[in-house]
Amino acid sequence: MAVTLIRPSLEALPGYAGALRRGWSPDNVRGAVTAALHLEKIAEDPVAFVEGLEDREARLGPLTMPDGTQRARLPGFVRWIWDGDFCGSVGFRWQPGSSDLPEHVLGHVGYAVVAWKRGQGLASEGLRLFLPLARAEGLTHIDLTADPDNIPSQKVILNNGGRLLERFRKDEAYGGGESLRFRIDL
């Protein structure tokens, strides 16, 4: 089956929840914490959970950073990578009217593929399919980050026309450490 991006839905939610239960997380910084939080929210109110993945007005309130501090939330939305079943997710955040991001936001796009489907090009294809959605928001480029030792993620970015902008040290809110910032022109 062909790989597509789908808008999160109640019909596809069991696949997402199943991936969380198997140890996958859409968050590569707070993995298990985020997975547990998502499962809790799904159990409480699955409709609200799915609707909250499309927050183009940043109405969900402040964002809790990995270190526990709170920052203003940016508009954003999520798409699920789908091959007939849940494969992973692509998350997007932006500042309306600008391609720039506030200092506390590492990149416009984050993606994660379930461990049992890695190595099949799903992240590269998911990001490729996502680029027109970012362009539709009026951005001229997107920035993405990857740790220096995360070669698979770097390949996903490079496969989609990314170029290395800089090596930098992540904010302590993200645990510090070295990272790489890439840019894909839209």
Domains of the chain, CATH where assigned: 4-185 (3.40.630.30)
Please tell me whether the overall predicted TM-score, pTM, comes out greater than 0.95 for this model. no
Flag whether pLDDT at 174 surpasses 80: no
What confidence tier does 171 reach under pLDDT thresholds 50, 70, 90? confident
Helix ranges (H only) for 1-64 are 13-21, 31-44, 46-52
Please enumerate in sequence order all residues whose Cβ is within 8 A of that of 169, keeping only pairs 6 or more positions apart, or say none.
176, 177, 178, 179
For the segment 139-166, the average pLDDT, to the nearest whole number, is 96
Q: What is the pLDDT of residue 62?
A: 81
Flag whether pLDDT at 64 surpasses 80: no
Q: What is the pLDDT of residue 16?
A: 98
